[in-house]
Structure formats: structure tokens, C-alpha cells
Structure 1
Amino acid sequence: MRNYLKFSLLFAFLGLAISLVFLQSCAQMASPPGGKKDTLAPVVLSSIPLNKSKNFKGKKIELNFNEYVTVKNLNQELLITPSIGNYETRIRPSGLTLVLDSALKDNTTYTFNFRNAVEDIAERNKGKNIKLVFSTSNAIDSLKIEGRVKHLLTNKKADNITVGLYPYTDSLSIDKAKPYYFVRTDTSGTYALENLAAGKYYMAAFEDANNNLVYNSAKESVDFITEPFIDLHKNETRNFKIALQNQDPLKLSKTTSTAKTILYEFSREIKAADLRFSSSEKPLYQIENDRNLRIYAGGLNKADTLKIEAALEDSIGRKYEFKLKAKFRELAKKEKSTYAALGFDVFPKVGAQIVPTDSLLLIFPKPVLQWVSKKVHILTENEDDLTFPDEAFSWNKFQNVLTIKSTFLPKTPKFTLALDKIAFVGPEADSTNEYKQVIKRLDPEETGVIEGGIRQPGHYIYQLLKGDKLEKAYEQKATGPCSFVNVEPGLYTLRAIVDTNENGQWDIGNYKTRTKSEEVHYFDTKIKLKANFQLSDLWITLP
């Protein structure tokens, strides 16, 4: 009996001890309720190899942290330069291990940058500057290239942009080769390529949307050095301004026929189109959405096959000849032809005001087949009804934008643009309804002047941009500084395009010939213009 009591007491004490240990271990897993929030990032306690190790030849990379961690998006976040090929990842509660498939290269400095891959479990605090650098030789490379990347057309910081160094060869093409060293920009657009070996390199920055480390010109913005190579033997600073440089050829992607139109969809933007038809009657056509070509049946015999010779110019000035065949689809028996009035947009929009140099624009969604100029007139405040002479009007090539020239508009503070019914008829027997819009002039004393730009002589396209989306509000071409008059009060960004080839538009570069896009420069701050103010000497500083 006495032995039984001893054993009972012994088991009771053992059970109590185990319970206390269990409770203590549980208490260590999380912060007590109401305690301070954990804001500390996980810290590396040890690693294999140690950071800045030399003569490392192993095939296992290991990190151990001071707390439980989770690893997220390792394939996207971990940047390894130069490449090590394939590896296996093993995640542990307080660390991770990478097991390499192949041996490391001799005489090479490696960098493993884990960026935002590691977080603590409790509060998701991201690890900071978790980077492992080691060498397979008795020296660690220490050269560095750093800089900043911006978007050329918006001047905004470009984050998560791949900046790469390529071993120099005469035949190198960044759309086929992967960089030997690479890094990605942070949220401020800055980057630092570190622990680089001396040597000759080519250098480029691009978006790498599909994370394959190969530049895709059709979808990814890019910038690059124009010299053949960098002879790297000291630290350098290199800044980049990226822009899309699509060099893909123009191709016909799709053809869609209806009873009224034929739509040709192309692979890239079309700047100009000249069509020659086999039929004696020439149908109307237009460019839509910058990359599509639509042909209207009008009065053509829909049973005939239409043969077309299309001379097209793409957005970068390359010319193409396409031989097209198409046939308008017949209406099915149960299919009815619907009618809709011919719509249009007016510049200025309702509620907007014009200045003395502004013309009126009527913008149609399709070509205008015929119109009656006398049905377009002006109603003044004095109840005068004014029509325009023929020279007041100007149509664009596709007959879908009508300009009423500023010099023929009344000088009164307010007037009404009036269109009679059936003033314009479209190619599908659709016509405009009666329309009226009050047009107001902005009092010159309610406007301001903005002067400045680039001091050096040259050919420039100056633009005043509004809002965060940088919508173009005013534009002028000059061979020196700019002067914008009659500008509405507001907050503006001043942009200057260097029109190198003097064609009146911004042109993209060509990564294949290492020709940069035409330069774009900005005044360094926003410009706040008040009514009846003149802001002068707003000079753009060139790099």
C-alpha cells in the first residue's frame, strides 16, 4: 500500500512538471495579449557559407533566423548573380536551405539577394537587406554600378525594373541573351549592382514583365547604353529612362466581315493608310484605335469580292504593301438592318471655354459620306444667324474630323454652334440630328502666360500637361525657349521633347541599332498658374 502511494505521488509530480513545461513552451510561441506589437524584422543568426566567405565550394546554401519565419514568392524575390542553374528549396520553421544541382564556378563572386522573400510568422515583418555574398576564390569582387531608372514619357520613378550587365560580345542582343549580373530597382527607382568583377560589359534596363530575364520589345519598356561596352575597373553611376521600343513588323492579325463593314486588325499601330480598290466605286475607309482599318460598304455590290492594295505606314515610319481580299457578308433572313443616328463629339466639350487661337472640331466615329455646309451655322447673342464660307472648313484625310477655323468664328464672348437635322450623312445611310452647343470664350484677363523651356537652340516640342495622368492641354513647336499664352489657370507639368529628326513628333528608339528614343525633359517642379499672371524663366536643366 505504501509503495502504491509512493508511485501515485511520483506520477502526480511528473504530470505537474510536464504540464508546466508544456504551458511555458506554449507561452513562448506568441506575445501575451495586450503586450507590445512585434515590429522587429527577422535577423540572420547563422549561414552556410558565412557572409563574405572565400574559397567556398559547397552545394548547400543555408540561412538560420532568430525567430520562426515564412518564405514567400522565392522564385520572384530571390535574385542570384551570376546564375547558378537549378536548385532545390527546403523550408524550415526558422530558416531555409538551397541545394544546388551543379557545382559553383571557379574564381566567381556570388550574390544571393532575398529581397522581400522572408517574413516573421507573428506579424509578417519583412526581413531587411538579407543578402549573402561569397566567393569561390580567395578574393571577393567589389566593383559597383548604381543609379536610377525613370519612365521617359512620365518622368516617374520606375520600380521592379531589371537592370542587367552582359559580358561584351560583338553579336550580343538583349532580346536573346540573359544578363550575367542583374538586379531590380526598388520603389524609389534606384538600383545597385554590387560585387562585380572587372571587365567589359554591355548594360540595359527593361521591365521583364514575364520574369524570364530576356527583353521582349513588343511589351517591355527599355533603355540601354549606346557605347559598345563599359570597361569596368572603378565604381560607376548609370541612369536610365525606359520607354517602349516595339520593333515587331506590321502584320495582319484578323479580318471580320459584316453586311456594312470589313474590319482589318493589325499587330501594331498604323500611322498612315492609302488604299486602292478594284471596284470603280471607291468605298470610304478609316484608321480606328490606331491599329485597325475599317472599310464601309456604302453602295457597293456586296456579292462582289473586293480586292484592295493597301499602302500602310506603321508607327515608326516603316512602309508596307498588303494585298487584301474581302467580301461583305449578306444579311441573314431573320437578321434586320438597324438604324442609329450618326453621332459625333465637339471640341471644346460642353462647359469648356476657348481662347482666340482655338478652332472648333467635329469628330465623327466614321467617315462622312456627304454634308451640307449651310446646315452648320452660328447663332449670336444678338440673334444673328451666321453661316460659313467654304474656306472656313477643313476635313482630314479620312473625312471623319471637320475643323471650323478659328479665324472665321465670331469674336463675341459667347455664341452657339448649331447643326440642322441631316447636316451630315454617314456611309450607312445614318445622319446627324439637330444639335446646339453654347461656346464661351475665356477672357484673356482670366488666363496667364508660361515661358521658359530649353535655352540651347534646337528643335523642340513643348507640352503643358495636366493632372497625374499627364493629359496634354497645350502644345507648341519651337527652335528655342517656349511661350504659352492664353493658358487657363491650373497646375501644369512642362515637358520638352527633343525633336531630333524634325518630324514634329516623338519617335521611339531601336535597341537593335542601339539608337535611343528621342530625349524627353521636364521642368523640375509643378507649375501653378493663376489668372492674369506671367510665369517666366522656367528653365529646364539638361543632364
Structure 2
Amino acid sequence: MGQPDGGWYDDTPPRITGTSPKDKATNVTARKIHIYFDEYIKLEDASNKVVVSPPQVEMPEIKTAGKEISIELKDSLRPDMTYTIDFSDAISDNNEGNPMGNYTYSFSTGERIDTFEVSGNVIDASNLEPIKGILVGLYANLSDTAFTTTPLLRVARTDSRGHFVIKGVAPGTYRAYALQDADGNYMYSQKSEMVAFNTDSISPSCGPDIRQDTIWRDSLRIDSIIRTGYTHFYPDDIVLRAFSVPLTDRYLIKTERQSPEKIGIYFSYGSDTLPAMRGLNFDAEKAFIVESTEKHDTITYWIKDTALVNKDTLQFALTYMMTDTAGVLVSNTDTISAVPRMSYEKRMKQRQKEFEDWQKEQEKAKKKGEPYDSVMPPAPLVPKISADTSLDPDRNIAIEMPSPLARCDTAAIHLYSKHDTLWYRSRFELRPVPGKLRAYTLLAEWRPGIEYSLEIDSAAFEDIYGLVSNAYKAGIRVRAMDEYSSLTVNLTGTADTAIIVQLLNGADGVVKQTKASGGSAEFFYVNPGTYYLRAFADTNGNGTWDTGDYHAGRQPETVTYYPKKIECKEKWDVTIGWDMSELPGNRQKPMDITKQKPEQERKLRNRNADRARNLGIEYIKPN
């Protein structure tokens, strides 16, 4: 006795039984298309997977009903134009989900139908990540203004690999563009849209070629090799590097007074000058110490006078440069009320509670005969000191203060080094970090294999509110040379003379960075581990990667990845050669650190063959 298992699975994908108008028909005038199948079908993610070319300003209406897909084009048909409707892999049968495979329907409003195709990849210019779902299109108009004034002529979307195929292309000369079309007008009209452009023109062509497919008997043995002729369309190796331009429109994002002693002001973009502040209920002149970022987009006003700190509402007029509706910087004045998150009254209550709790602790200590205080000590100034117990010889100690300093006594800072069993004074220098009001760097000659002791006396630092630091002591061991590896990279295949090479420990984790000199980049004191390499052409010499600008005709600085991982071990001196032009940009980045992984292709599961094998019978697939 047993249960019937339902018989063979339906492993056959849907088949097209007819179309209206006929596929690849010419002189078509109807805007309604019907595609008929031999079984019930479903259409997955049509809004993203189905692409109509030429692009439609008004979205076409695509419906499925039983064994039929109907498409109604809302835009008027252009004369003498080939139309393509690319369904990608969106069509499958309704019950078993068997994919039909990539399918494109096409027709022409003229006497002939265009069949050329161009293909390639779109990658992020900053990190060579494949970009999924970005629009790629062609212009027959080779003018630089076409991209910003007229819709793209023929379009496609990239898949999960960043790959695109533009079909139905007529003979001619074109330029290729990529666009993350935020407003759906198929042209570059917003600064926030990611774009890619190429000044080189392309001319589509085709020719006969042979495709080789390998059928494996198992994981080790080849059963047969099948060679099939097909039409190869060119070009098929377009690589577009997409980028976003910085949003330079300047406006005031917010003002806040998280703590009573400082006011934070945040702008969307920087400016050459600081804003002007005029107090309305207080005298703003000489009332602040101003801390600003390099571009003046984030500004902190530290209030020096404790009487103003205790004032709950500070009203002031802030005059600053902002971008108007025409995109021009103009002067603007806002009236602002800065109110702390906790009022003065609540802060006093909180301090009173803290004092009472402290007083109870002292009373307990007194009753137990333990040491106690009669005066509550003020809260100390607590610097953030990055003195790890283990230090690399090419690193220094960073010190960040919680508030601006009024006094820094370097004589109260001591650095000792241990040689044999004796401690000796070591020379050091405490430098302020340029452009950072509260940041300092302690520099010293950190010798490999030596122990150091950093000792800071109490009251070495005092801030503008009279708070002083406590004593501090930290033991530091500089790691020995034998614990490191070194890496030398010999660069070839590039005409750029200013190359910045970065050592990565993951997708974006920059461990070290150096400027190549004489065609070589060297990394010392490399911790053992697995690393990757990225380089960019520092065209303007500012030491950082810079994006492009379409309106200025400027491409982003070229980024290149070394295609393999690098193993560094203790005591190893690793030397590698890197031909930076060996691979195209879409094939450089190692898959281990590529975040945008290719999606698995939808394939027929062929479950009947597995079922027949389990039953011990032969399965003959129906035609």
C-alpha cells in the first residue's frame, strides 16, 4: 500500500504560440501588443525587469491574464523606428515557476527592423562595484548637450552583474551614457542623479562567431563539447564608470544646543567664510570660541562665559551664504533661538541629587572608619587618549579633548622607554592637529621591540571652564620587526604619474595609504593577514579620490583594483607586480570584497531526471 506521487513534474517552460502584431513585424501602427502562451504564465517584477525602447515618457500598461501578456504603449509611435520590449527573465509558468529565459519582442513602424546590439558593464567609479538597475542608453546626436536636453534614444537596464544589452540598434554612430533616472524623463536633469559618460563614439556591427559549451558527466569528467555558430554583436565590452557629483547647494540644515555650553550649526555644503552671528539677547562679540570643519559646513560655537552657559535661551541673528532657486549664492539672515535639551533648573536639580548621593556615600565611609571627603571634588576633564598597549612603529598617539583648552602644560607630560631593566626619558612632541581645535598628536621615535610608559600629571590640561584632568599612566609596547611583513608593489601599464595606492583589509577598510614613487609603492609594518590593493590617479594632487563633473566634461579620477588577494606573514618581504591595464574595470575587483553579488540565474530544475534516477528508470524528456 502507498500513496500516488502525482506523476512527472512539469519541467517545460512556457512557449509562445502567437503574437499580435507578429514578432519582428514591420509597418506596425497598433500600440496594443498581445503575446500568447501555451500555458498559464506570470510576470515577475515587471516595473524593473521589462524595458521598452525607445523609452516611453508615459509608462506603458503591462498586464497578464491567464495565458496572455498584453502591452499598451501610451506614447505615440515614432515613424521608421524599431521598438523592443525586453522582458529579461521575468516570464515563467504559473504553477511550477519554470523560467522562459530572456525574451525580447520587437517590431518596426518602418519598412525594416534594426537588429544590432551593443553591450557592456556599468561600475561605480569610486570602488568598481557593479551597479544594478541603472539605465543605460544611446544617443545618435553626438553633441555634449544632448544628454541634458533630449531623452535617450535606446535604453536598457543593468542586471545584478552591472551588465547591459541594448537591442534594436540601427547602423550609425552613437555615444553611450548611464543614468540613475530619478525623475523618469530619460535625460540628466538633476544633480543628484548618478551618471556615466564616455566621449568615445561607437559604431555597432556584427559577425559570425562560434560558442563553445561544455557538458560535464560529473565534477571531474567532460562528457562532450558542443560548438555552436551564432551572430556576435559588437561592441560588447563597453565599460561606463558611474559617479555622483557633490550636491553644492548650500542651505542651513539645523542648529542645536545638545549641551548648554555649545551651539552646533550644520550646513548642507561648505563656504569660504564663516557665518556672522549677532546676539539679540546677549553680547555675541568675544562670547565664543569657534570650532569649524575645513569647509565650514559644521560649526560649533563654544560659549566661554558661564553666565551665558546658564542662560536657557540664547537668541541671535545668523547671516550666512545660501543657494537661491537660481543656484546663486546669496546672503541670508535667520533669527535663531538656541535652547539646551535640559534647562538650568533641571540641571541644578540633577547636580543637587548627585551631591546628595555623594554625601550619603561619604557618611557611610565615615561610619565605617574609612577615608572620606568633606568637599565634593569637581568633575574632571577626561581626554580621549588612544594609547593602546601595543603600538605600530609608524603610528602616533592621538589625544582628543572634550572641550577647548585654556592651558596645556607639556612639562607635566612624560614619556619613558625601557632599555634592559632601566627606564630613560624619551623625547616627544605634542602637536595640535591642523584644522581640529580639540585634537592633538603625541609624536615620538617609536623603536620596535621597546616598552614605553606614558605618564601625565594631574592638572596637565585645563579647559575654558576650569575643569582639569586627572593623572594618567599607560604602558605601551612597540611591536618587534619580526612581527610584521612588508609589501612592495611594482606598477606598470599606466601613464598616470601621480598614483595613490591603498592597502585594504576588506571592501573599504583602508589600512595604509602611500604615494607611488618611481613606479613602486612600499608598505612597511604590515600586520600578518589577507589584504587587497586599490589605487587611484591623484590628478589634482590633493591625496584623496575626486568625483567627476559632466557639465565640466571631467571624468572621475581612475580607480584600479589588484585582481587577487595578497597574503602577508610574519618576517615576509612580499613583492608583487601589478599591470594596471591588464583587465577592464568590470573584471578587476576580487569577488571576495565585491558587495553587489551576481544573482543566481533562473534555471530549469529538471526534477524529473532526479525522480527517474531515484525510481531506477530512464526518463526521456518530451520534445
User: Which TM bucket (shorter chain)?
Assistant: 0.7 to 0.9
* Residue in structure 1 matched with residue 491 of structure 2 by the alignment: 454
- For residues 323-358 of structure 1, the C-alpha deviation after alignment (integer angstroms, 9 at most, x for no partner) is 78756447745331678865555446x46x433222
Instruction: Judge conservation of contact 2:272–2:295 (CA < 8 Å) in 1.
Output: no
> Matched residues in 2 for 1:239 and 1:367: separation?
50
- Matched residue type, 2:242: I
The Cα of 1:289 is off from its aligned counterpart by: 12
Distance 1:122 1:290, change over 3 A: farther
* Structure 2 CA distance for aligned equivalents of residues 52 and 290 of structure 1: 60
Query: Are the equivalent residues in 2 in contact too, given 1:208–1:214 (CA < 8 A)?
Result: yes
TM-score, normalization by structure 2 = 0.70
Matched, 1:372 2:409: yes
Structure 2 counterpart of 1:463, which letter?
Q
Question: Does the 8 Å contact 1:173/1:512 carry over to 2?
Answer: no
Structure 2 CA distance for partners of 1:377 and 1:325, relative to 1, 3 Å: farther
- Give 2:555's aligned residue: 516
* Mapping of residues 48-59 of structure 1, within 5 Å: 48-59=20-31
Go from structure 1 to structure 2 and tell me whether the alpha carbon gap of 1:376 and 1:95 turns closer, same or farther (over 3 Å shift): farther
Task: Check conservation: 1:165, 1:203, Cα contact below 8 A.
Answer: yes
Is residue 286 of structure 1 aligned with residue 292 of structure 2? yes
1:52 partner SS:
coil
Secondary structure in 1 aligned to 2:29? coil
More deviation in 411-420 or 458-467?
Answer: 411-420
> How big is the shift at 1:514?
1.9
Are 1:260 and 1:428, in contact at CA under 8 Å, matched by a contact in 2? Answer: no
State the SS of the aligned residue for 2:28: coil
- 8 Å contact kept, 1:284–1:298: no
Selected match of 2:347 from 336, 359, 374: 336
Checking the alignment, whether the CA contact within 8 Å between 2:147 and 2:188 is kept in structure 1 is yes
Q: 1:191-213: CA deviations, max 9, x gaps?
A: 12122123454432233467664
Selected match of 1:361 from 381, 398, 415: 398
Quote the Cα distance in structure 1 between the aligned partners of 2:454 and 2:274.
33
Higher relative contact order (CA 8 A, sep 6+): 2
Query: Which stretch of the first structure deviates more once superposed, 287-296 or 532-541?
Result: 287-296
Say what the alpha-carbon RMSD is for the aligned residues: 3.7
Distance 1:170 1:158, change over 3 A: closer
Q: State the match for 2:602 in structure 1.
A: none
* Contact 1:365-1:400 within 8 A present in 2 as well: yes
Q: 2:275 & 2:97 partners in 1: Cα distance? A: 61
Give the corresponding residue for 2:531.
492
Q: Please show how residues 275-354 of structure 1 align to structure 2 within 5 Å.
A: 279-287=285-293, 291-299=297-305, 302=308, 328-329=338-339, 332=343, 334-336=345-347, 345-347=384-386, 350=388, 353-354=390-391
Could you tell me which amino acid in structure 1 is paired with residue 160 of structure 2? Answer: T
The residue type paired with residue 373 of structure 1 is T
**Given the alignment of the two structures, is residue 72 of structure 1 paired with residue 41 of structure 2, yes or no?**
no
Deviates more, 1:142-151 or 1:332-341: 332-341
Indicate how the Cα distance of structure 1 residues 105 and 208 shifts in structure 2: closer, same or farther if over 3 A, else same.
closer
Shift of 1:449: 1.8
Aligned partner letter, 1:496: A
Give the SS at the match of 2:482. Answer: helix
Q: CA shift at 1:109, angstroms?
A: 0.5
Matched to 1:399, the amino acid is: L
Deviation, structure 1 residue 446: 2.0
Whole-angstrom CA distance in 1 between matches of 2:107 and 2:62? 19
Q: Which residue does 2:34 correspond to in 1?
A: 62
Identity of aligned residues (%): 22
Q: Who is 1:115 aligned against?
A: 88
SS of the counterpart of 2:248? coil
Cα deviations by residue, 1:369-410 (Å, 9 ceiling, x for unpaired) = 543334443355557485766x44333333222111133x46
Indicate the residue corresponding to 1:470 in structure 2. 508
Distance in 2 between residues matched to 1:406 and 1:202, nearest whole Å: 56
Alpha-carbon spacing, 1:257–1:441, altered in 2? closer, same or farther (3 Å): closer
Q: What CA distance in whole angstroms lies between the structure 2 residues aligned with 1:325 and 1:300?
A: 23
Give the direction of change, closer, same or farther, for the CA distance of 1:298–1:175 in structure 2 (3 Å limit). Answer: farther
Structure 1 residues 112, 266: closer, same or farther in 2, change over 3 A?
A: same
* CA distance in structure 2 between the partners assigned to 1:326 and 1:422 by the alignment: 37
| Alpha-carbon distance between aligned partners in 1 of 2:330 and 2:504, rounded to the nearest angstrom | 34
Q: Give the deviation of 1:466 after TM superposition.
A: 0.8
Structure 2: how far apart are the matches of 1:217 and 1:507?
A: 20
1:441 correspondence with 2:481:
no
Change (3 A) 1:210 1:86: closer
Residues 63 and 96, structure 1, Cα contact 8 Å, conserved in 2: yes
Deviation at 1:413, TM superposition (A): 2.8
What does residue 178 of structure 1 align with?
151
Preserved CA contact (<8 Å) 1:217 1:247: no
Classify 1:214/1:246 alpha carbon distance in 2 versus 1 (closer, same or farther; 3 Å). farther
Paired residues of 1:453 and 1:496 also in contact (CA < 8 A): no
Cα distance in 2, alignment partners of residues 39 and 273 from structure 1: 69
Determine the C-alpha separation between the residues in 1 that align with 2:402 and 2:24. Answer: 65
SS in 2 for 1:334: helix
Query: 2:500·2:514 contact (CA, 8 Å) conserved in 1?
Result: yes
Residues 541, 35 of structure 1: CA spacing in aligned structure 2 closer, same or farther, 3 A cutoff?
farther
Q: Single out whichever of 322-331 and 40-49 deviates more from structure 2.
A: 322-331
Mapped contact 1:263–1:295 kept (Cα < 8 A)? yes
Residues 562 and 580, structure 2, Cα contact 8 Å, conserved in 1: yes
Unaligned runs of 5+ in 1: 1-31, 313-317
State whether structure 2 residue 496 is matched by structure 1 residue 525: no
Match for residue 241 of structure 2?
241
Structure-2 change in CA distance of 1:89 and 1:458 (3 Å): closer
Give the secondary-structure state (helix, strand or coil) at the position aligned to 1:45. strand
Task: Identify which range, 174-183 or 419-428, moves more after superposition.
Answer: 419-428
Distance 1:522 1:271 in 2: 34
Which SS does the other structure have where 1:284 is aligned?
A: strand
Q: Does 1:139 align with 2:112?
A: yes
Q: How many residues align?
A: 499
SS of the aligned residue for 1:76 comes to helix
Moved more, 358-367 or 102-111: 358-367
The change in CA–CA distance for 1:142 and 1:172 in structure 2 (over 3 A counts) is same
CA displacement, residues 25-81 of structure 1 (integer Å, 9 cap, x when unaligned): xxxxxxx74655555543333222333222222222112223222233322221000
Asked if structure 1 preserves the Cα contact closer than 8 Å seen for 2:55 and 2:152, the reply is no
Cα distance in 2 between the residues matched to 1:271 and 1:40? 64
Shift of the 514–343 alpha-carbon distance from structure 1 to 2, 3 Å rule, reads farther
The AA in structure 1 aligned to 2:450 is P
SS, match of residue 515 in structure 1: coil
Residue number in structure 2 paired with 1:252 = 252
2:540 maps to amino acid: N
| TM-score between both structures, scaled by the size of structure 1 | 0.79
2 CA distance for matches of 1:473 and 1:311? 38
- For residues 452 and 395 of structure 2, the distance between their equivalents in structure 1, rounded to whole angstroms, comes to 14
Distance 1:274 1:396, change over 3 A: farther
Does 2:99 align with 1:93? no
Find the aligned partners of 1:116 and 1:288 in 2 and give their Cα distance: 50
